[in-house]
Structure 1
Amino acid sequence: MQTVYYQDKVLQRGGSASIKGNFFDIATNEEYWVSGPKKRGGDAHYERVTILIDDDVKEEYWTTIRAPQ
């Protein structure tokens, strides 16, 4: 079983045809979509949402991952 620790959340890998997320918070059962960042910026699942980038990784995201080729 895969686990993601993010801030105060513990997310477990899970999913089925009935949920939109691929991870869920083990304390609240709230669903999350966890994915690696994409060079072209398609970091969202299939819905149009605002992507938030944590302050501690913003510089790396824009200079390394999304850096112009």
Structure 2
Amino acid sequence: MDDFWNAVWSITPTILVGLLFWFIMWVIIRADRHERAALAKLEATERERLGISTPVAAPGDPRN
């Protein structure tokens, strides 16, 4: 039974670091998603205020 607990205590730090990494990446990606949505909403409001119907693509943008 000692081998089992040695294995558990050996793998626990790896699992915890992996979970911490996953959580940090999840927070970063979620924040980026919300920031992009807020910027899109702001840009749409500005386009509406200025009377521009579509977003202006930058030169070299593949959406041109």
TM-score norm. by structure 1 comes to 0.20
Larger radius of gyration: 2
Larger relative CO (CA 8 A, sep 6+): 1 or 2? 1
TM-score norm. by structure 2 comes to 0.21
- Structure number with higher helix proportion: 2
